[in-house]
C-alpha cells in the first residue's frame, strides 16, 4: 500500500553566462563551491521582465551532491517571500513525497525552471525561461544527480526537450542530455504537488512514479 500523501518544447539553448567561474570553483571546492559561483553569476538578476515584480530570487536549495534533484515551474508567493523553493502548501506536500521514499529534503536538491515569481503565478513566458535556462543547466551539471524529477508541465517539457503534455509524459522515464562527462541523466516526469492539492486522486500516479525513482536510486 502506498504511504499516505496528504491531499490537497524546451526553448532553444542560449549561451551560459560566465561558465568558467563555476567550473573552476567546482574543480577546486566541489559542487557546493560550484553552486555558489553560479549564484554569484546570477547576481541581482535583471535579465527579464520578472525582475521588476519579484521580492526575492529563488535560486534553489539542498544537498550539493544530491542523487535526486527536483525541478518545478516557478516560485509562488511563499517562495518569493522567503527565497526558498517549495515552502508553501505544495512544498509541504513535496516534503511528504520525499519522505515517502525514505529521504529528507536535506538529501535532495530542489529548484525551479524560473528563479523569480511570475505575476499572479501565471505560466512562464518563453523569454523568461530562456533567461533562466543557462543557470538551471549549470546547476544540473554541477550537481550531476542520478535522477531528475520534472514536477509538472513546464519542468518536464524543459528537461525532456518536448512539447508533449504532462498527461502523456507522466510516468515515462527519459533522459536529460547534460553537458560534460557522465552521459545523460534519467528524468522522471510527474505531476506538480500543486496539481495534487487540486486533484488528490492523482496521488496514486505520483506514488507509482516515485517508486520507480526510488528503485533507480538503489542501482
- 19-218 folds as Uracil-DNA Glycosylase, subunit E (3.40.470)
pLDDT at 20 over 80: no
CA 157 – CA 53 distance, rounded (Å): 26
Whether pLDDT at 194 is above 50: yes
pLDDT attached to residue 29: 81
- What mean pLDDT comes out for the span 149-161? 98
User: What tens digit of pLDDT does each residue of 163-173 get?
Assistant: 999 999 999 99
- pLDDT beyond 80 at 81: yes
**Neighbouring residues of 49: CB distance < 8 A, sequence distance ≥ 6:** 127, 128
Rounded mean pLDDT, 189-196 = 98
4: burial class by Cβ within 10 Å (0-12, 13-18, 19+)? exposed
Structure-model confidence comparison of residues 112 and 183, the more confident one: 112
Domain range list for the chain: 19-218
Amino acid at each position: 500500500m502506498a504511504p499516505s500523501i496528504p491531499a490537497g518544447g524546451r526553448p532553444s539553448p542560449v549561451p551560459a553566462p560566465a561558465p568558467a567561474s563555476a567550473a573552476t570553483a567546482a574543480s577546486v571546492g566541489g559542487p557546493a563551491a560550484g553552486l555558489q559561483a553560479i549564484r554569484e553569476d546570477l547576481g541581482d538578476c535583471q535579465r527579464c521582465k520578472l525582475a521588476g515584480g519579484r521580492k526575492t530570487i529563488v535560486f534553489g536549495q539542498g544537498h550539493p551532491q544530491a542523487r535526486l534533484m527536483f525541478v518545478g515551474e516557478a516560485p509562488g508567493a511563499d517562495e518569493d517571500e522567503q527565497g526558498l523553493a517549495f515552502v508553501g502548501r505544495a512544498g509541504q506536500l513535496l516534503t511528504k513525497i520525499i519522505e515517502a521514499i525514505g529521504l529528507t529534503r536535506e538529501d535532495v536538491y530542489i529548484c525551479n525552471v524560473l528563479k523569480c515569481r511570475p505575476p499572479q503565478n501565471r505560466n512562464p513566458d518563453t523569454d523568461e525561461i530562456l533567461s533562466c535556462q543557462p543557470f538551471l543547466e549549470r546547476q544540473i551539471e554541477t550537481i550531476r544527480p542520478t535522477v531528475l524529477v520534472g514536477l509538472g508541465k513546464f519542468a518536464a517539457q524543459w528537461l525532456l526537450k518536448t512539447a508533449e503534455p504532462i498527461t502523456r509524459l507522466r510516468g515515462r522515464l527519459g533522459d536529460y542530455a547534460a553537458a560534460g562527462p557522465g552521459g545523460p541523466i534519467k528524468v522522471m516526469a510527474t505531476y506538480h504537488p500543486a496539481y495534487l492539492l487540486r486533484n488528490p486522486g492523482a496521488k496514486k500516479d505520483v506514488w507509482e512514479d516515485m517508486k520507480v525513482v526510488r528503485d533507480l536510486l538503489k542501482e
